[in-house]
Amino acid sequence: MREKVCQVVISGAGPAGAILGLLLARAGVETKLIERHEDFSREFRGELIWPSGLKPLKQIGIWEDFEKVGQVRIDQVKMFINEKPFVSPQMDSSVIGEFRPRWISQPHFLEMLVEKASAYTNFELLRSTRVRNLLRDEDSVTGVVTDSHGDISADLVVGADGRSSIVRARSGLSAKADKLPMDIVWIKVPADRMEICNTMRMYVGRGRLVIMAPTFDGFVQLGFIIRKGSFKELRQLGTEGLIKEILNYVDAPTREVLKTTDTDDLRPFLLSTVADRVDSWCLPGLLLIGDAAHTMSPVGGQGVNIAIRDAVLAANYLIPALKTATNADTLYQTLQKIETERLEEVKLIQAQQAKGPRILLNQSLWMRPILLLAQKLGRGAKFDAASDPSMKTMMFGVSPIKWTVE
């Protein structure tokens, strides 16, 4: 038996891992958080947080810190079909109050979380460190093997290391994947002369979907949904050719601005979309949360929301369990309760995410008149976003999440 180095070791300092690490540390639990990068700015990360993710941030007492993070408040979503206005869901303050959706700087958000956690002497962040394998004692996971800090043994290992989770891979837990028909190309362009303040836009038509959202640093994040596996063809066009392709699907004012965009410094980034869910989130001594447990499709911007909600609910269960003389069997039962409580929401939202692309990216002959009719009926009409059942689910989630420890 190895001597325990800490009570909990978390692999992955994304939203799920960083929030769980902060909450455990604040409660006095000896916690190590492992992050494979030196900082958080090397990869594109989901940037949208809906009310379902914002409310828990206030409940756990970090709202004031969160509001200092670089972000843009989203007041409405403008949806277009074949370049013409369709509908415009509004974020009604009488319904969502202060929790209007935010397009955030995730690197700033994560740095804020780990900085707050690092104020506790029982917390340690190990940057530029990779988990290579799991330590085991018979059927139980007892720690991790790292590339630069040796073996780290713990009462509990939490895999929060995202869609390419090493912890999941080494655990032997299997997953079921949904086949998604699309990939997404992300590219940031200057927001000069583009009237998009506090508005997210979605353009649908001819088998494509374009997403636009303002960022805190004076840019617009463009997401171009393409047929899965077709990026190679687009890449041959170069960045200028990619922008020209996007011009075919946006409204006239946006098209005129994008035509004059200098593409020399733009860097497109391909996100190969994945949606899956492990058959079981836990083993004795091991818990998976966030994308490590259930990789979310980018549709509806749910990745960060679900990660936040996973972390807060997990902390609700783990803190009482870890602060008492809990044996391994009782801890495992606690892990199973976390999975059971989160599973319904994750399954429902993943199912809803899968429907949209199969309809909107459909290029069959019968789909064209349906979209044409929808646009003529909508004509840019405004309505409360929460009045639409599908949007309400995306905005507020399915299962209530309430911070109960403090």
Domains 6-74+102-178+274-360 and 182-227+229-271 share a fold: no
| Domain 6-74+102-178+274-360: assigned CATH number | 3.50.50.60
Average model confidence (pLDDT) for the chain?
92
User: What span, in angstroms and rounded, lies between the C-alpha atoms of 109 and 62?
Assistant: 11
DSSP-derived pairing of the beta strands 6-11 and 31-34: parallel
Q: What is the structure's pLDDT at 176?
A: 92
Given a cut of 70, whether residue 46 has pLDDT beyond it is: no
Q: Average of pLDDT values for 273-293?
A: 96
pLDDT at 276: 95
Q: Tell me, which fold does domain 182-227+229-271 have in CATH?
A: D-Amino Acid Oxidase; Chain A, domain 2 (3.30.9)
Using one digit for the tens of pLDDT, what is the confidence trace for 207-253?
A: 889 999 999 999 999 999 988 888 888 888 999 999 999 999 999 99
d(CA 278, CA 264): 42
Domains in the chain: boundaries: 6-74+102-178+274-360, 182-227+229-271
How much is the pLDDT for 1? 44
Over the stretch 65-121, which tens digit does the pLDDT of each residue have? 999 999 999 999 999 999 999 999 999 989 999 999 999 999 999 999 999 999 999
Structure tokens, 147: 């590339």
Query: Can you tell me the distance from the alpha carbon of 363 to that of 401, in angstroms, rounded to the nearest whole number?
Result: 39
Q: pLDDT tens for residues 171-199? A: 999 999 988 888 899 999 998 878 788 99
390 Cβ contact list (under 8 Å, min separation 6): 352
Q: pLDDT digits over 4-37, tens only?
A: 689 999 999 999 999 999 999 999 999 999 999 9
User: Does pLDDT of 43 surpass 70?
Assistant: no
The predicted pLDDT at position 285 comes to 97
Q: Supply the pLDDT for residue 2.
A: 55
